[in-house]
Amino acid sequence: MTTTPQTAPGDQRAGFDEIDILWISEGMSCDGDTVSITASSQPSIEDVVTGLIPGLPKVNLHNKVLSPTLGGEEFLAPFRAAARGELAPFILVIEGSIPNENINGEGYWTSFGNDLATGEPLTLNWWIDRLAPRAWAVVAIGTCAAYGGIHAMAGNPTGSMGLADYLGWDFRSAGGLPIVNIPGCPVQPENFMETLAWVLYHAAGAAPPPPLDDLLRPQWLFGKTVHEGCDRAGYYEQSDFAYDYNSPKCQVKVGCWGPVVNCNVPKRGWMHGVGGCPNVGGICIGCTMPGFPDKFMPFMDAPPGGYLSATLGKPYGLFVRRMRGITNASLNKEPRWRHNRDELTTGYDP
């Protein structure tokens, strides 16, 4: 833990050789993103916290699932110090969506530790209000923290929302950065660790800030659609569709939203390059998207747009599939001049 005198928001410059990561998963969360990032290998969380990545600052990670402490006040100490303005610089990572404590009735929706004076629970919102303005960078991991996700579905009683909805989309951290959203339910492991490494290089003064799109996502990770990277896209183009989940063909008719979803998982895979939803038979349900899950339900129904484009493309697809079948059959035959008869039939003319 790096402890320094109180640092006013906005006056932290990059060039740190040590930084803390204060990771709170007490949002409306399943801790799935913490679990997911343990599968990352490029880089791994172990490599980052043990200093094996050249050029990164020394990282002190405070995540309850990955903590070597016994928990309790020992674990909470750096969070309390940061809330008092006695710890800097730090990166705040929020996992899970942010409930609306203005509508919690007589209770509270979610908490992280207790007030030492009163014994009353300290809400996630209490912590965000104190830590976010002091944080050198603020990172939302997973779709819940980024955009609200599952806990923000229509009909929920908590009024849950994403971090940018809570802090404001024009929020700037003490390091001058917007919130960095890394969506996914859960986040793809390397998507998070690669972005975190970029933020850490920036903290070290060795890299510019990571480029983000309008939805505060890393541009290089979310600029393409699932469909553009899918193993099955060749089937789609030929109008060759799966009608159950045992087929290797395009799954748009059994509920895949890949053509309209920003996600690199089919290209990158899930663990060590293996997997990637539609590549391995899972329909894309748009889990990285701000409209998830409401706009993708009911899952497993064919998306209306997918039905339309598949229907419009059918005449073309059937025609080229037929033509390609004929050409493919021809290409699977050796040229007829390859024989051992006593004549030369290659067409060679001396």
Contact pick of 44, 48, 56, 95 for ligand SF4 (by CB under 6 A):
95
Residue (299 or 319) nearer to ligand SF4, CB: 299
285 near ligand SF4 (CB under 6 A): yes
How crowded is the C-beta side of 8, counted as CA atoms within 13 Å? 2
Can you read off the two tokens belonging to residue 99? 């409930």
Q: By beta-carbon distance, which residue lies closest to ligand SF4?
A: 258
Least Å distance between CB 99 and ligand SF4?
Answer: 13
CA 55, CA 25: separation in Å to the nearest integer?
28
Q: Which stretch binds ligand SF4 (CB under 6 A): 25-33, 83-91, 126-134, 330-338?
A: 25-33
Q: Which is nearest to 12 in space by CA: 200, 180, 176?
A: 176
Helix (H) or strand (E) holding 46, with range, is helix 45-49
What lies within 8 Å, CB to CB, of 283 at 6+ separation is 251, 254, 255, 256, 257, 258, 277, 299, 300
Q: Which of the 8 DSSP states describes residue 53?
A: S
The answer to whether residues 31 and 65 touch, using CB atoms and an 8 Å cutoff, is yes
Q: Which stretch binds ligand SF4 (CB under 6 A): 105-113, 216-224, 258-266, 331-339?
A: 258-266
202 near ligand SF4 (CB under 6 A): no
Q: Is 277 annotated as a binding residue?
A: no
250 near ligand SF4 (CB under 6 A): yes
Helix (H) or strand (E) holding 58, with range, is strand 58-62
Residue (122 or 182) nearer to ligand SF4, CB: 182
Residue (95 or 190) nearer to ligand SF4, CB: 95
Q: Is 263 annotated as a binding residue?
A: no
**What separation, in Å, do the N-terminal and C-terminal C-alpha atoms of the chain show?**
83
278 near ligand SF4 (CB under 6 A): yes
Q: What are phi and psi of 250, to 5 degrees?
A: -60, 135
Q: Which residues fall in the annotated binding site for [4Fe-4S] cluster?
A: 30, 144, 185, 227, 230, 250, 256
Interface with ligand SF4 by CB under 6 A: which residues?
Answer: 29-30, 32-33, 95-96, 142-144, 149-150, 184-186, 226-227, 230, 232-233, 236, 250-252, 256, 258-259, 261, 263, 265, 277-278, 284-288
